Each structure stands twice: as C-alpha cells, then as structure tokens.
C-alpha cells in the first residue's frame, strides 16, 4: 500500500500564461503596528512572484483576495476563479505571514505554505507555483524547501478502503515551479535532491501508516531489504536464530513474546572515490507494534503504537535516499525489529537479559522495550566500527510531556547533540538537547544486574532522560553519539497542517540526511 507520487519540474515562462489547472501565489499579512508580528491587522501584500498575475488582474487582485477573506496568515489558502484574466482557471493565494524585512520568507515558512497549497489543490492534475524565491545565496535552500513542501503536502497514504470515496480528490500529479532560469544547473540539482529526500520521507510515512498486521518484523525486514537491494545498498538480515546465537539478548527478549519473530536489518552505503574517512552509523527503533507486553498498555490510543517503528522507518528510508544522493562518507543503517506482545513466551519483569555487549540488564517494565532492542543494535554498530552514531526512536512518552509533539529530544555527546539541533533547524525538524544527569543513572542501579532498564523504584521523574542514560551504556567511549527521541514528532494524529498529513510525518529523515551530508562535507 504505497502512496501515489507527485512529479516536479522547473519553468521560466510567464506564470500568467501557464496552461495549468491552478497557479499558486503568496500573500503576506502586512501589519501597521510598531511590532509587525503582534500589531493590528493591516492590509494584504502580494509576495514576490505574483507580479504578472497581479498585472493581469489590472491592480484589483489584492482587493479581491481581501474581499474573499484573505489575511495572509501562515498556511491560509484562498481560491479565486480567474475568469480568463490569466490562462490558469484558478489562482490560489497562500498566506506567508508578515513579510520579513529585507529578506525572503524563511525556508520552513515556504515549505509549510507550499504543502498547504498543494494539499488544498488535490483534484487538480497540474499546478504551478509562483512563490517568492530570493535572488541570493539563500536561493537553493528556499527552492529546496518549496520542492519538499510540494512533494510532502501532496502525500496521501493509499489506505485500505474497498470502495473508492467520491469525495476524495486525487493528489496533484504534477507541480511546476516558476524560477528565473529553468535551465540553471544548481536549481535542477535542488529538484533532484528534493525528489530523493521527499521520496524517502514518503516511504517512511508509508511504512509508519501501514497497518501493524501487515508489517510485523519479518514483513518489515523484507520490505526494507527489497527496497535497499533495488537501491544498490549492501543488505544483511539476521533472523531469530542468528540473533539468539549472536548474543542479541535484548532483541531476542522483546521478540520472544510474538509469533512473528524479530529481525536485525543492516544496510550499508560504501562511497566510491575520495572520502574524509569518517563513518556514520544510523540506528532506528523498529517495534512494529507496542502493546507494552506483560506490562500491558491501556486500550485507549494503543493503535498509535503501530508507529513505534518510526525510527527504523526513518533510518531505512534515509538509507534509500543516501544511495541516490551518494554522499562521500560510509553510512551503515541498523534496524532492530520486534513486536512487543504479551503471551506465554514473553519476557517478563524481573528477567535478567545479557545484551550484545555483555552487559546484564534487569527488566522492570516490559513496556520499556525500545531500549532493549536499541542497546543491542547500538552495541553492534560500535563493534562494527563507527565515528558517529545517530540513533532515533519513539522511545518515551516523557519526550512528549517535556517537549511536545513537534520538537524531538536529543541526548548524547554534547557537541553531537548541538550538531543535531543545528541540522534539525536547517531542515525544519526542530530538536532540543537534553542532559544525562548522574542522579538519573544512580536511580537505575540494579540490585542484581549491571543496570536496571528503568528507574529501580519505577519513578517516572526524568523519564526521557532515563532512556538516554540507559542507551549510553551501549556506546563505546571513542564513538560520538546522539539519541533522538521522536515519540511526539514522528506521528501526527491531528488534522493535516502545512506539509504534515495525518499519520507518519517522516521525522527525522531529513535531519539524518542533513547530518550525513554535514559529516561528508565537514568531517
Ligand atoms: N513506544 C513507547 C513510547 C511512546 C509513547 C511513543 C507515546 C509514542 C507515543 C515506549 O516503548 C514506551 O512504552 N515507553 C514507556 C516507558 C516506560 C515504561 C519506562 C513510556 O513512555 O511510558
Ligand atoms: Mn513500550
Ligand atoms: Zn515502544
């Protein structure tokens, strides 16, 4: 069940003459108060890119949009029939918020606005975007954002309905982006890059949105391995016997409660030619469904735990984009997969588990399963040898409590956490560094084993931090690492907004790709 896709191209002809089903322009909310963001609402302002459309409307476009209720607020979409003034039958004005003084709108503003516009145009096969693209060093980043917004806002999961829904319109099939020079090599490269990156985000959304009965560990491993082989990556899949024999105690323990056995998928990208010698490991949590196991979760909302493999989906999809982007750095993806179920064969509170690196863990709550499978996978990544280790997981409800649904929590080597934050800011996937306090580690001392899986008194204080503190035990000293807790940002249960549709968001695919490119460029 994969989504249908949208294709992108560049045009440099007059937007007023484009034979498309709709043309998208931007509008700013122009405020008159001393503080542009909180002052009283003022008049609308057409954004750059709307000039030729405005000319065709004989100077009446702004007033007409205002009459239709346009305020220029971020994400607002107002449609206007053009009645022959321009070739396209429809103009869609998308709100960009107040015009930033002396600058083009921030990339994320345009990414969201483009996503909202393309989503609102579902049903139109072919649309063009004539949005404010700066004529300076920011141009590539802004074009990239517009392209990503179009491809991601146009995403829709195919779903499982047996009868077609008459009210559902097909996502836009073709998006044209108006630029000063459609033959410009750098601009074309940005479109190719955005297509690869957004393709990966869409793949990870598809995997997250797939029903959990269709994506148990063997099926998920098969889907990832098939896509990775087709992309030209090296693929290794360990099955339950190999995991047991190989000493992967954490993956084996969590997986043993399910009839669908666990897997560990390893994907490798080896660059050709000169590299800076750095190696990157990406590790993603692949719990295909998290019931909590014997420490079972409440029924309400449990269905969202089909998204507990969002970390593995992000890593697997990012590896597919890496095969297309060909960065000059070695990247290895590790995707531990298990289904956390309660049964007669489940692991239980009180069990002591020997992990891949030999450390013994006292299990206190089978619902803290993510750290068990991740500890093994991270230790394996360190044993294989790496310089940087980025791990991402829907690890704790505590992340959502602390930082909300949009901002990921980052724990690990401080410099690398800062690098994750910078990468996240650059791509519109915000992440915030969090500490790994000694007292939290102290609270996880076990009476019988090397470490407790959670606070020994089941104290939920510093819940998210407990996850990071636990995972630190599975990283060797020479490896710089960062744990990115995406429990909130990886899944969007509200109404669509910007380029986020309902369900999987694809976070943090774009951050991981940004980090890999950063390491390739800067070591
Ligand atoms: N998969 C959950 C965390 C989660 C919660 C993800 C909400 C997305 C949304 C994780 O395995 C879990 O159950 N964590 C427990 C940890 C606790 C038992 C130490 C939690 O957050 O309560
Ligand atoms: Mn759990
Ligand atoms: Zn979980």
Angstrom distance (rounded) from CA 136 to CA 103: 10
- Tens of pLDDT, residues 164-203: 888 889 999 999 999 999 999 999 999 999 999 999 999 9
DSSP 406-443: T-EEEEESHHHHHHHHHHHHHHT--EEE----HHHHHT
Q: CB neighbours of 247 closer than 8 A, spacing ≥ 6?
A: 354, 356, 358
Ligand 1 test: best mutation among 338, 367, 371, most atoms within 8 Å of CB? 367
Which atom of ligand 1 is least distant from the CA of 490? 8
Angstrom distance (rounded) from CA 16 to CA 93: 14
Look at the domain 7-161+168-183 and name its fold: 3.40.220
Token pair of 302 as six digits: 């449990």
The catalytic residue among 244, 278, 297, 405 is: 297
Least Cα distance to 155 among 312, 2, 34 occurs for 2
**Cβ(487) to ligand 1 under 6 A?**
yes
Beta-strand (E) ranges in 161-277?
Answer: 174-178, 234-238, 263-269
Q: CB neighbours of 287 closer than 8 A, spacing ≥ 6?
A: 254, 305, 308, 309, 337, 338, 339, 340, 369, 370, 373, 394
Ligand 1 test: best mutation among 396, 443, 456, 493, most atoms within 8 Å of CB? 396
Distance 395 CA to ligand 2 centre (A): 7
Superfamily of domain 199-522: Zn peptidases (3.40.630.10)
DSSP 351-363: -EEE-TTS-EEE-
CA distances from 498 to 111, 318, 472 (A): 7, 22, 35
pLDDT in tens, the chain (523 residues): 456 689 999 999 999 999 999 999 999 997 655 544 443 445 799 999 999 999 999 999 999 999 999 999 999 999 999 999 999 999 999 999 998 877 778 999 999 999 999 999 999 999 999 999 988 888 999 999 999 999 999 999 999 999 988 888 999 999 999 999 999 999 999 999 999 999 999 999 999 999 999 999 999 999 999 999 999 999 999 999 999 999 999 999 999 999 999 999 999 999 999 999 999 999 999 999 999 999 999 999 999 999 999 999 999 999 999 999 999 999 999 999 999 999 999 999 999 999 999 999 999 999 999 999 999 999 999 999 999 999 999 999 999 999 999 999 999 999 999 999 999 999 999 999 999 999 999 999 999 999 999 998 888 899 999 999 999 999 999 999 999 999 999 999 999 999 999 999 999 999 999 999 999 999 9
The answer to whether residue 297 is catalytic is yes
Residue 84 has, within 13 A of its CA and on its CB side, a CA count of: 0
DSSP 219-233: HHHHHHHHHHHHHT-
Distance 369 CA to ligand 2 centre (A): 5
- Residues forming beta bridges with residue 410, ordered by sequence position: 433, 484
Distance 188 CA to ligand 2 centre (A): 44
- Residues forming beta bridges with residue 282, ordered by sequence position: 333, 390
In this structure, are strands 388-393 and 480-485 parallel, antiparallel, or unpaired? Answer: parallel
Positive or negative torsion for Cα 61, 65, 67, 73: negative
Beta-strand (E) ranges in 239-295?
Answer: 263-269, 279-284, 286-290
From-to residues of CATH 3.40.220.10 in the chain: 7-161+168-183
Instruction: Detail the residues annotated as belonging to a binding site for Mn(2+).
Output: 285, 290, 308, 367, 369
From-to residues of CATH 3.40.630.10 in the chain: 199-522
Q: Chain centroid to CA 136: how far?
A: 28
User: In the block, which residue shows the tokens 């516009």?
Assistant: 117
Angle CA(444)–CA(377)–CA(493) in degrees, nearest 5?
80
Q: Are 474 and 463 in contact (CB under 8 A)?
A: no
Residue 372: its H or E element: helix 370-384
């Amino acid at each position: 069940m994969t989504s249908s896709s949208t294709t992108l191209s560049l045009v440099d002809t007059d937007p007023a003459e484009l034979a498309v089903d709709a043309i998208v322009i931007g509008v700013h909310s122009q405020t008159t108060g001393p503080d542009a963001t909180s002052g009283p609402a003022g008049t609308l302002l057409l954004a750059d890119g709307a000039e030729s459309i405005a000319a065709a409307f004989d100077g009446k476009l702004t007033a007409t949009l205002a009459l239709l209720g346009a305020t220029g607020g971020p994400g607002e979409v107002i449609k206007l029939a053009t009645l022959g003034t321009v070739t396209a039958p429809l103009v869609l004005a998308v709100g960009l918020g107040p015009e930033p003084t002396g600058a083009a709108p921030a990339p994320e503003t345009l990414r969201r606005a483009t996503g909202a516009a393309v989503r609102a145009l579902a049903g139109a096969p072919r649309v063009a975007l004539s949005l404010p693209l700066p004529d300076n060093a920011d141009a590539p980043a802004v074009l990239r954002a517009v392209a990503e917004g179009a491809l991601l806002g146009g995403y829709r999961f195919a779903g499982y309905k047996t009868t077609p829904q008459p009210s559902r319109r097909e996502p836009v099939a073709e998006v044209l982006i108006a630029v000063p020079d459609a033959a410009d090599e750098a601009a074309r490269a940005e479109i190719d890059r955005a297509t690869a990156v957004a393709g990966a985000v869409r793949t990870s959304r598809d995997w997250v949105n797939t029903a959990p009965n269709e994506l148990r560990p063997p099926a998920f491993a098969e889907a990832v391995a098939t896509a990775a082989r087709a992309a030209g990556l090296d693929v290794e899949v360990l099955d339950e016997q190999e995991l047991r024999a190989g000493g992967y105690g954490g993956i084996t323990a969590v997986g043993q409660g399910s009839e669908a056995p666990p897997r560990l998928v390893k994907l490798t990208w080896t660059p050709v030619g000169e590299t800076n010698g750095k190696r990157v490991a990406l590790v993603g949590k692949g719990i295909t469904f998290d019931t909590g196991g014997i420490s079972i979760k409440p029924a309400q909302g449990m269905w969202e735990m089909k998204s507990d493999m969002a970390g593995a989906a992000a890593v697997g999809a990012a590896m597919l984009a890496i095969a297309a982007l060909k960065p000059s750095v070695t990247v290895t993806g590790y995707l531990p997969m298990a289904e956390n179920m309660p049964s007669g064969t489940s692991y239980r509170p009180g069990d002591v588990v020997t992990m891949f690196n030999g450390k013994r863990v006292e299990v206190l709550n089978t619902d803290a399963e993510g750290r068990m499978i991740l500890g093994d996978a991270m230790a394996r990544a360190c044993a294989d040898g790496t310089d940087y280790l980025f791990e991402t997981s829907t690890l704790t409800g505590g992340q959502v409590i602390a930082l909300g649904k949009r901002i990921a929590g980052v724990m690990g080597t401080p410099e690398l956490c800062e690098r994750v934050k910078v990468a996240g800011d650059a791509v519109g996937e915000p992440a915030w560094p969090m500490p790994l306090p000694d007292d939290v580690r102290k609270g996880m001392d076990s009476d019988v084993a090397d470490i407790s899986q959670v606070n020994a008194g089941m104290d939920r204080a510093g819940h998210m931090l407990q996850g990071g503190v636990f995972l630190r035990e599975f990283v060797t000293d020479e490896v710089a690492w960062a744990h990115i807790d995406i429990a909130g940002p990886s899944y969007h249960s509200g109404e669509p907004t910007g380029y986020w549709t309902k369900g999987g968001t694809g976070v943090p695919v774009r951050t991981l790709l940004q980090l890999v490119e950063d390491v390739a460029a800067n070591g």
